[in-house]
Amino acid sequence: MDRERQRRGMAREAIVGGPTDEPGKRSAGGRTTPGWQIDERLPSERGASKRVTEPLLEHLEAHGWPTSDVFSIHLAVEEAIVNAIVHGNKLDPGKTVHVVCQVDAELMRIQITDEGEGFDPAAVPDCTADDRLEVPSGRGVMLMRNFMSRLEYNGRGNSVLMEKRREPQP
Amino acid sequence: MPDLRRITVTESGDVTVVRFVDRKIVDEAQVNELAGELGRLVDVEKRRAMLLNFSGVEFVSSAGLGKLIALERKLKLAKGRLKMSDMVPEVMSVFEITKLNKVFDIRASEAEALKAF
């Protein structure tokens, strides 16, 4: 089922000129480092994150990224895009979420920008405080921070840059 | 019982054992449907001892976590008990990072969880 959805996702992205496998580049170590990127404007509607996560996960799996890294990237990207759509753009159909993602052999980098007013990530309450443990929302940013190698918001708080460095294989 | 799309339900003694149909618990529409089916087990069918067996589940988003917290509260108010089991390490890590492993009783296996009721 998921595989089929992923294939459909790829077909749609291919039509709109989404992910492209650029010719391999030679790194200093002599290994081939296939570059891959996606540049999408997502509508502010629930479920739109699939247009990024499905081809991205397919690419990572096809290039042998470890399961734990694929999970981390899926979780952080899903949470960030949902935040942008729901909290940033407030599901406004007149606004889009701009996603630019690049993956090479060792690093996934993604920038997600909404058209909202932004927020102060430092002001998000600690969801692990004893009196907030059972609050049903507010865990997205913490999960993103924990699962990514790097996470930075711009000053306005409407754009987040995240990076995940590929874990070395044992 | 109405048709269930997101979960399967079996009995083990007095305990209702729930398994998830989806490998990935992600977007809000899917999560809301899941929450509705879990909620009905408590509100309509008056189940009071529930075990959520996560075998086969590879992914849970924060939207999913929110609904599990709501289920836990609902059961607690009804003087019921909720336990969980069989999480893969990645899913378990989501509960650990958010410290929800302190809120939920999470066991390694279904057999171990059933013994703990």
- pLDDT, tens only, B7-56: 999 999 999 999 999 999 998 889 999 999 999 999 999 999 999 999 99
Contacts of A155 (CB under 8 A, 6+ apart): none
Q: Which member of A127, A128, A143 has the closest CB to residue B94? A: A143
Give the range of the structural domain holding residue B56, as residue numbers without chain letter: 7-110
What's the pLDDT score for residue B111? 98
Decide if A46 and B28 are in contact by the 8 Å CB cutoff: yes
Looking up residue B23, the CATH number of its domain turns out to be 3.30.750.24
Q: Which member of B26, B90, B102 has the closest CB to residue A133? A: B102
Nearest CA to CA, how far is B82 from chain A (Å)? Answer: 14
In a domain, B19, yes or no: yes
Chain A residue closest in CA terms to B65: A136
- CB of B39 within 8 A of CB of B74? yes
Res. B114: pLDDT tops 70:
yes
Nearest CA to CA, how far is A71 from chain B (Å)? Answer: 7
In a domain, B40, yes or no: yes
In a domain, B48, yes or no: yes
In a domain, B115, yes or no: no
Assigned token pair, B48: 């009071």
Size of interface A-B (CB pairs under 8 A): 61
Decide if B94 and A78 are in contact by the 8 Å CB cutoff: no
pTM listed for this prediction: 0.86
- Low-confidence stretches of chain A (pLDDT < 50) are 1-32
Chain A residue closest in CA terms to B100: A133
Decide if B90 and A47 are in contact by the 8 Å CB cutoff: no
State which H helix or E strand residue A21 sits in. Answer: strand A20-21
Decide if B65 and A146 are in contact by the 8 Å CB cutoff: no
For chain A, say whether B73 makes contact (Cβ under 8 Å). Answer: yes
Indicate the CATH number for domain A2-21+34-165: 3.30.565.10
Decide if A2 and B24 are in contact by the 8 Å CB cutoff: yes
Contacts of A39 (CB under 8 A, 6+ apart): A18, A99, A100, A101
For chain A, say whether B14 makes contact (Cβ under 8 Å). Answer: no
Which residues from A are below 8 Å from B66, CB to CB?
136-137, 139
Q: How many domains does chain B have?
A: 1
Which residues from B are below 8 Å from A139, CB to CB?
62, 65-66, 98
Decide if A47 and B29 are in contact by the 8 Å CB cutoff: yes
Contacts of A133 (CB under 8 A, 6+ apart): A127, B99, B100, B102, B103
What's the pLDDT score for residue B2? 64
Place of tokens 């529930």: B50
- Please count the CA atoms within 13 angstroms of the CA of A16 that sit on its side-chain side: 14
